[in-house]
Amino acid sequence: MTIIESLTHLTDAKLILNDEIEDPELRRRWREDLGHGISQISITRRDFYARFTDRSHGFDELPAVAPGGPDTFCINLRTLSTHLRHLHLEQARISAALFWPGADEKKQASVPSWPHLETLLIQLEPVDSYGRFYADPTPEEVAYNASHNELRPWDPIEHREDDTGFAAKLELYENHVNGGKRKDGRLRWSWYITPAMRLADDLLEAWGLQWDEVEIWEEEGDREEDNGLWTAEALIPWR
């Protein structure tokens, strides 16, 4: 960041940022320092690209910003973005402060505008800066005829399983750079059942799904052991 700040006539900035700090307090300070660094970048920049390498902690994800505190990274990136032509963020943990001033920004004189912005591409993390999931399904929504669900850590995927053999996993769609599919910012639930069983109307109805919302991408079984699994996928809409 110091090098970028010193290059006053630089027009493009591309950052690959390692955000795998385990200690939550150090991680918050790192993000805050990054935000202050962005505030020093010259407004001559026209293109800004940042990709974060992060490690998912599933439903135990700790906030990147202290609850109730300002999201310095998003606030200062918003200010910079009003001068940009292209803004591209990958695997970014953001908050509404990236787009609009919050109540804590009392000195904000006017609403932001982006007169120069031509392209905006953001690949979201499944949680925002404050550790809140964009999609928040309840246990009743992921299990069929299950009496209870238990959260278990699963790196990098979260796993829910009950004692009847039903399980579900939560993950974020990956962005396939080299000619693959692009499904940025979407969450995926995968349902697993052992022993294997066929999809039926009543099963989908119990999960609140329609046939056009489900894609079967794996079905297998072991005849001798009478075990197997099938996996269905459905996208959960943003709340």
Looking at residue 75, its pLDDT comes to 92
Q: For residue 207, give the amino acid letter.
A: W
Q: Tell me which residue range forms the domain holding 33.
A: 2-124
Residue 38 makes CB contacts below 8 A (sequence gap 6+) with: 1, 73, 76, 77, 80
Looking at residue 105, its pLDDT comes to 75
What are the DSSP E strand ranges found in the chain? 12-19, 47-54, 86-92, 119-124, 150-152, 158-161, 166-172, 187-193, 215-222, 227-235
* 8 Å CB contact between 21 and 27: yes
In a domain, residue 131? The reply is no
In a domain, residue 132? The reply is no
Domain-ending residue, one of 99, 124, 149: 124
Q: Round to whole Å and give the CA distance between 177 and 182.
A: 8
Distances (CA, A) of 134 to 152, 170, 213, 232: 20, 12, 19, 21
The 8-class DSSP code of residue 172 comes to E
In a domain, residue 129? The reply is no
Q: Round to whole Å and give the CA distance between 180 and 174.
A: 10
Which residue in 41, 46, 104 sits closest to 72, CA to CA?
Answer: 104
Do residues 99 and 182 both lie within one domain? no
Looking at residue 73, its pLDDT comes to 93
Do residues 146 and 101 both lie within one domain? no
Looking at residue 9, its pLDDT comes to 63
Q: Round to whole Å and give the CA distance between 75 and 99.
A: 8
In a domain, residue 149? The reply is yes
Looking at residue 132, its pLDDT comes to 76
Domain-ending residue, one of 73, 89, 124: 124
Do residues 159 and 197 both lie within one domain? yes
In a domain, residue 134? The reply is no
In a domain, residue 25? The reply is yes
In a domain, residue 152? The reply is yes
Do residues 11 and 78 both lie within one domain? yes
Q: Round to whole Å and give the CA distance between 219 and 128.
A: 34
Do residues 15 and 58 both lie within one domain? yes
In a domain, residue 6? The reply is yes
Looking at residue 148, its pLDDT comes to 30
Domain-ending residue, one of 73, 98, 124: 124
Do residues 118 and 149 both lie within one domain? no
Do residues 104 and 48 both lie within one domain? yes
Do residues 99 and 156 both lie within one domain? no
Number of structural domains found in the chain: 2
Ordered mean pLDDT values, 10 residues apiece, the chain (239 residues):
59 75 85 88 81 66 85 92 89 87 71 85 80 57 34 34 50 41 44 52 63 54 39 39
Do residues 120 and 16 both lie within one domain? yes
Do residues 161 and 60 both lie within one domain? no
Do residues 23 and 117 both lie within one domain? yes
Do residues 91 and 197 both lie within one domain? no
